Chain A
Amino acid sequence: MSDQFEPRLIGFLCRWCSYNGADLAGTSRMKYPPNLVPIKTNCSGRVDPTHIFKAFAEGADGVLIAGCHPGDCHYINGNYRTAGRFPLMKKMLEQLGLEPGRVRLEWVSAAEGDKFARVVTEFTEEIRALGPLGWRTQTDVDPAQAGSAASDRVEEAVPA
């Protein structure tokens, strides 16, 4: 094992196009990094910003959302919802200090196994260059320590 940082990536893949694209990459024996944990969703439009925020809050270094190409959505316009949400969500995450490259939206059809492999390879390398995110540790550091200290003061001040 080398010492290089292995990013932990979450991928929300729509079941009609992108998940099948990932399957095709696998059955075609294409090589790509194992860093992405795929999660099958019914539609990229089903991926609520809540899911993405939770992924980051729980330790993901990057999040990929992949769905059908515009016009190809199994539910007619689900991917338009995604496309509309994405820029505003990205703006919000940037406002909170997250590097814009940590969240990525791609259209991958069921026939594009090669594109899926390429996207995951690129994304992994980009996030590797950005380094670990560690959202949870950075939110907990200061208050957690002070919190235990405050509890101790209560113990001292209040005779049992």
Chain B
Amino acid sequence: MSDKFKFAMYWAGSCGGCEIAVLEIKDKILEVDANYDVVFWPVAADFKYKDVEGYDDGFIDVCLFNGCIRNSENEYVANLLRKKSKVLVAFGACATMGGIPGLANEATAQQLKDLVYRDNPSVDNPEGIYPQEKYEVPEGELELPHLYDTVKTLDQCVDVDYYVPGCPPEAHQIGAVLDAVTAALKGEAELPPKGAVVGAAPKTCCDECKRVKEEKKISGFRRMWEFFPDPEKCLLEQGVMCMGPATRAGCGARCTNVGMACRGCYGPPDGVVDQGAKMLSTLASIVDAPTPEEIAEIAGTLPDPVGTFYRFGLASSLLRRAKV
């Protein structure tokens, strides 16, 4: 192999959007190719787990790990790549905070299987066939990974060096992260401090949002299909549930600038432990009603607080999952 740096990327419990986002860096990918050998990247190159198992410890210079830890295979590969990588990056919302799959923490694995294989109205499964973790065929025993009850973030599983949030991370941020790592590997710059959130800003999404913000007072919630929002005014002030105040900046507020409320994919900003708790707090402070009862009534019209406030962050929240 050449003396280029070694690059790996892996998807655990994810949708594959992070891989696409890496290709979004466009011609910069040629720079990546000039500096790195791909030694493991299931979506782009044909390497097997046993190839990775055969590498020396720390052989991979930088590994971008996207996806949450959802089953035993995810966890195995996370441990494997941690052992083999000098720099392990939790890449994207799922790896940093559980992401959309983290919402599975509202249920148990058995409840999910029951819904998917038995209870869904469109399911026709009279024999009650469920996926088996082990199955005997003439050629031998087949094995499926064990589905966990609780979705975990990458850092609840292994030691993580850096975090790149976003669903998916913005292309210009990915480029910046790769540049920083390449410069450090070449000895031209220092690596950022361990545990840093790179490719994002410390403030909130509102800081980057171009909409005009005034005194926030709302008397009820509205959804985007119910009305035409004012294109200039803050969406939250118009009663749209926007996660901007509790979400890290770095994306350039792309959603709100085109009229879509922030869904919180960049996670909490610096100094905030629990994104959902902070958003809840924000919201209760801006509901405009004279008595606690009326405030409660307005707040009660929000149908799904957990799914709204923890759309991406349930697995990394303080409570982490629903009670079983």
- A135-151 near B? 1/0 per residue, CB < 8 Å: 10011011100110111
Measured in the bound complex, the distance between the Cα atoms of B284 and A142 in whole Å is 35
Q: Which residues of B32-59 are within 8 A (CB) of A?
A: 53, 57
* Chain A residues whose CB sits within 8 angstroms of the CB of B177 once the complex forms: none
Whether the pair B292, A70 counts as a contact (CB closer than 8 A) is yes
Which candidate, A10-18, A21-29, A52-60, A116-124, is the interface stretch facing chain B?
A52-60
Measured in the bound complex, the distance between the Cα atoms of B150 and A150 in whole Å is 15
Q: Which residue of B lies closest to A55 (CB)?
A: B318
* Chain B residues whose CB sits within 8 angstroms of the CB of A54 once the complex forms: 273-274, 318
Whether the pair B277, A49 counts as a contact (CB closer than 8 A) is yes
Whether the pair B292, A143 counts as a contact (CB closer than 8 A) is no
- A147-160 near B? 1/0 per residue, CB < 8 Å: 10111011001100
How far in angstroms is the closest Cβ of chain B from A138?
Answer: 6
Whether the pair B148, A146 counts as a contact (CB closer than 8 A) is yes
Measured in the bound complex, the distance between the Cα atoms of B57 and A51 in whole Å is 41
Whether the pair B300, A91 counts as a contact (CB closer than 8 A) is yes
Q: Which residue of B lies closest to A70 (CB)?
A: B292
How far in angstroms is the closest Cβ of chain B from A57?
Answer: 5
Cβ-based interface call for B276 (8 A) = yes
Whether the pair A95, B80 counts as a contact (CB closer than 8 A) is no
Measured in the bound complex, the distance between the Cα atoms of B78 and A44 in whole Å is 43
Which candidate, A1-9, A35-43, A80-88, is the interface stretch facing chain B?
A80-88
Q: Which residues of B147-173 are within 8 A (CB) of A?
A: 148-150, 152, 156-157
Q: Which residue of A lies closest to B272 (CB)?
A: A50
* Chain B residues whose CB sits within 8 angstroms of the CB of A151 once the complex forms: 79
Whether the pair A85, B280 counts as a contact (CB closer than 8 A) is yes
Interface contact tally, CB-CB below 8 A? 134
Measured in the bound complex, the distance between the Cα atoms of B44 and A100 in whole Å is 49
Whether the pair B150, A139 counts as a contact (CB closer than 8 A) is yes
* Chain A residues whose CB sits within 8 angstroms of the CB of B289 once the complex forms: 84
Which among A48, A91, A98, A141 is the interface contact of B305 at CB below 8 angstroms?
A91
Which among A85, A97, A158 is the interface contact of B323 at CB below 8 angstroms?
A97
Whether the pair A80, B292 counts as a contact (CB closer than 8 A) is yes
Which among B75, B284, B318, B320 is the interface contact of A150 at CB below 8 angstroms?
B75
Size category of the binding interface on chain B:
35 or more
Whether the pair B148, A150 counts as a contact (CB closer than 8 A) is no
Which among A53, A57, A97 is the interface contact of B322 at CB below 8 angstroms?
A97
Which among B157, B280, B320, B324 is the interface contact of A88 at CB below 8 angstroms?
B280
Whether the pair B278, A88 counts as a contact (CB closer than 8 A) is no
Cβ-based interface call for B146 (8 A) = yes
Whether the pair A85, B284 counts as a contact (CB closer than 8 A) is yes
Whether the pair A53, B292 counts as a contact (CB closer than 8 A) is no
Cβ-based interface call for B83 (8 A) = yes
* Chain A residues whose CB sits within 8 angstroms of the CB of B312 once the complex forms: none
Measured in the bound complex, the distance between the Cα atoms of B318 and A56 in whole Å is 9
- A72-84 near B? 1/0 per residue, CB < 8 Å: 0000000011011
Instruction: Provide 12 A-B residue pairs closer than 8 Å at the C-beta atoms, listed in order of the A residue.
Output: A50-B278, A81-B284, A84-B292, A84-B299, A85-B284, A96-B306, A97-B322, A135-B319, A147-B75, A149-B72, A150-B75, A151-B79
**The 4 nearest A-B residue pairs measured at CB:** A97-B323, A83-B292, A85-B284, A87-B296
